[in-house]
Amino acid sequence: MTGRYQIRYGLQHSVITHDRPHGLPLDEVTLAQKLKDSGYSTYIVGKWHLGFFEKGYLPLARGFDRFYGFLTGGEDYWSHRRPNIYSKDPSEYRGLDLRVQDEPVLDQNGTYSTHLFASKAAEIIGHHDQNKPMFLYLSFQAVHAPLQVPDVYVERYKNFGSISVQKYAAMVTAMDEAVGNVTNALKVTGLWDNTVLIFSTDNGARRGAGSNWPLRGWKNTLWEGGIRGVCFVTSKLLEIKRRTSNALIHISDWFPTLVHISQGSTYDTKPLDGFDVWNSISKGTPSPRKEILHNIDPLKCSKGFSCSSSGNDSVFNTLTYAAIRSRDWKLLTGYQDRGGWKHRETFGNHFEKPDDPPDKHLWLFNIRNDPQERTDLSTRCRCRLHR
């Protein structure tokens, strides 16, 4: 939303839970604000999760004209109530988390959120003034936990592994249907021919709840299974269509890219980490991005070591929890969850563990040749560690 790494404003440690008095700093310029400067109407439907302890952190104060959705995460798909994450009782809730603008929505108990958000998005499209361009940020709750979905979708997958796998597949189908309803609304209103639609995931499945096969690791780790996302872009404005791209692109790149195609300017923002990658997407040219700082968190240290220790490297404290990508190479340091490779349940529930020693805190991989992160090259390619 800012075109900048999360470390720039201290949000690299974890998500913003409902009891945290902080959020995206108010001096950060959001994508919605920049597009609004370019004359766009700006809408958000679905998840916010960038701060909510004061009104100044809510979507309407961060560049959006209209908001319909929820502020935190993990709530019930039907009741839209937020569970008490500190309670062992799964039926204990902290309160309703569904709003229109800044006010609570009280009449949607029992409406499945995927259907609700798609319906609201289609409604916004239908009522939008076509004399103005539009930015619609639709952030579905699906397919996040809890696994909840109407039974009619589960029926299609009743012979498809465990009940959890059936529900997950059903949730994906419900979301796919919802996306279809939104794109249909764009076509019916005549907006489709001048639309750029971006569909992207955020992270891999969490440990014990899914498979990121054949990639290593899961959500909340810096292995490829946790951080590599799939995405597609569709538009009649693309110069080259129907192709697969392996270009290096980071979520921060959407900010300058969308500002560029909206004919806006980034001159009044803080220094950006993102790149304008529209030509890479539209024309297939090489990505201008050569590096990605996945994360660096000095508050997370290797177990059994002090954060003030220097590790065994004089250039960088390799006990610090961090990961960086430089072209084809990826370096990880610090105490990393060792990850592993969990085969898809439909092909057996086999789990492979890496044989890394418990005190290991340095890895180097060639991601292009070894996307599964199986062959650590940190001892064989020492010269690359200092580049």
Q: What is the pLDDT of residues 284-327, one digit of tens each?
A: 999 999 999 999 998 876 555 555 555 555 567 888 999 999 99
pLDDT tens track for 339-385: 888 887 654 567 788 989 888 989 999 999 999 999 999 988 766 66
Class of domain 291-386: alpha beta
R_g of the chain computed on alpha carbons:
22
Residue-wise DSSP of 104-161: E--S-TT--HHHHHHHHHHHHHHHS-TTS-EEEEEE--TTSSS----HHHHGGGTTSS
Instruction: Write the single-letter amino acid at 345.
Output: E
Residue 114 has pLDDT above 80, yes or no: yes
CA distance 155 to 93: 29
Longest CA span, the chain: 62
Contact 129/151 with Cβ under 8 angstroms? no
Report which secondary-structure segment, H or E, holds 279. Answer: helix 278-282
Asked whether residue 21 carries a pLDDT value surpassing 80, the answer given is yes
Q: Is the pLDDT of residue 13 over 90?
A: no
Structure confidence at residue 86 (pLDDT): 58
One fold for 6-282 and 291-386: no
Which tokens is 198 given? Answer: 């971006």
What pLDDT is recorded for position 358? 84
Beta strands of the chain (E only): which ranges?
41-47, 66-70, 81-83, 93-96, 99-100, 103-104, 134-139, 197-200, 231-234, 291-301, 320-326, 329-333, 341-342, 351-352, 362-366
- State the Cα torsion 235-153-138-197 to the nearest 10°: 0
The percentage of residues in the chain with a pLDDT greater than 70, rounded to a whole number, is: 90
What's the confidence (pLDDT) of residue 39?
Answer: 95
Q: What is the pLDDT of residues 122-159, one digit of tens each?
A: 999 999 999 999 999 999 999 998 899 999 999 999 98
> Residue 233 pairs with which residues in a beta bridge?
198
Distance CA 273, CA 287 (A): 14
Q: How confident is the model at residue 14 (pLDDT cuts 50, 70, 90)?
A: confident
Q: Is 99 helix (H, G, I), strand (E, B) or coil?
A: strand
Fold of 6-282: Alkaline Phosphatase, subunit A (3.40.720)
> Domain extents for the chain?
6-282, 291-386
pTM of this prediction?
A: 0.91
Q: How far apart are CA 52 and CA 59, in angstroms?
A: 9
Task: Give the residue among 67, 45, 56 at the shortest CA–CA distance from 23.
Answer: 56
List CB contacts of 88: < 8 A, sequence separation 6 or more.
Answer: none
Over 193-242, what HEC string results?
HHCCEEEECCCCCCCCCCCCCCCCCCCCCCCHHHHCCCEEEECCCCCCCC
